[in-house]
Amino acid sequence: MNWQWFHRLGSPRWFYQKTGAWLPWLALASVVLLSVGSVWGLGFVYEHGQQGNSYRIIYIHVPAALLALAGYYVMAISGAIGLIWRMKLSFAVMRAAASIGAVLSFICLVTGSLWGKPTWGTYWEWEARMTSMLILLFLYIGVIALSHAASREQSADKASALLALVGTVNIPIIYWSVNWWNSLHQRATLRVIEESRIDPVMFYPLLIMIIGFYCMYAWTLLTHTRTLLLKREMRTKWAQDELLGGR
């Protein structure tokens, strides 16, 4: 089997030069999709019967929640690839995914609590999904803190990749146990819009926003990874050429 492509994929230089061309397209796609989605969702969809205008925050909250969770797996899988095939590149992706994921889960928590005020009358409600998201944020913070702790970057890479993998085993258990816990302490709260009750008119802009968030995620992940790679490969000729504008 020819593994050449795989090792080339692991080469920071190849990655850097290849992905440079994708960036403008991803940026364009995310700007267009996010503008269309937010104008449509925030401006043109009719008000929700019970929640009035406040429900419109789902157009940010839901995509952020989806990507915060998906981002954890992006981080863990690239960490695993790094551990198994010892690829520098995937460790850089892992580090980039860690900080972006932490920001996304933070956004999800903030928008969730802003939504909670008009809905539940309080900024913070110990509701299952919000609690799980909070723990997910802690998991992200743990990985980030560990990745900055060790004196050798290589050891820090491997250690945080391992922690991310331990986290993936734990996430389903945590989500499930938090759900169980929440069902014990169920109080009379207003249920958020159930999936089945989402009107298609509300759903299409949400779909556009989700796709837009995915594009934006890919865009920031690539940009962040490229920056990390340049910093790490500072000593090599190609990185210096890139930084000095290509000689």
| 184-223 residues near other proteins, rule: CB under 8 A | 184
117 contributes a contact to other proteins by CB under 8 A: no
Choice from 2, 21, 46, 151 touching other proteins (CB under 8 A) = 151
Residue 145 sits in the site that holds other proteins (CB under 8 A): yes
Smallest distance from other proteins to CB 24, Å: 26
**Segment lying near other proteins (by CB under 8 A), choices 20-28, 167-175, 204-212, 222-230:** 167-175
Contact call for residue 128 and other proteins (CB under 8 A): no
Any contact of residue 84 with other proteins (CB under 8 A)?
A: no
Q: Given CA atoms 206, 211, 215, 217 in this order, what sign does their dihedral have?
A: positive
Nearest in space to 99 (alpha carbons), one of 139, 51, 130, 140:
140
Tell me if 146 contacts other proteins by CB under 8 A: yes
Q: Using an 8 Å Cβ cutoff, are 102 and 137 in contact?
A: yes
235: contact with other proteins by CB under 8 A? yes
Contact residues toward other proteins (CB under 8 A) are: 7, 10-13, 86-88, 135, 138-139, 141-142, 145-146, 149-155, 158-159, 162-163, 165-167, 169-170, 173-174, 177-178, 180-181, 184, 232-233, 235-238, 240
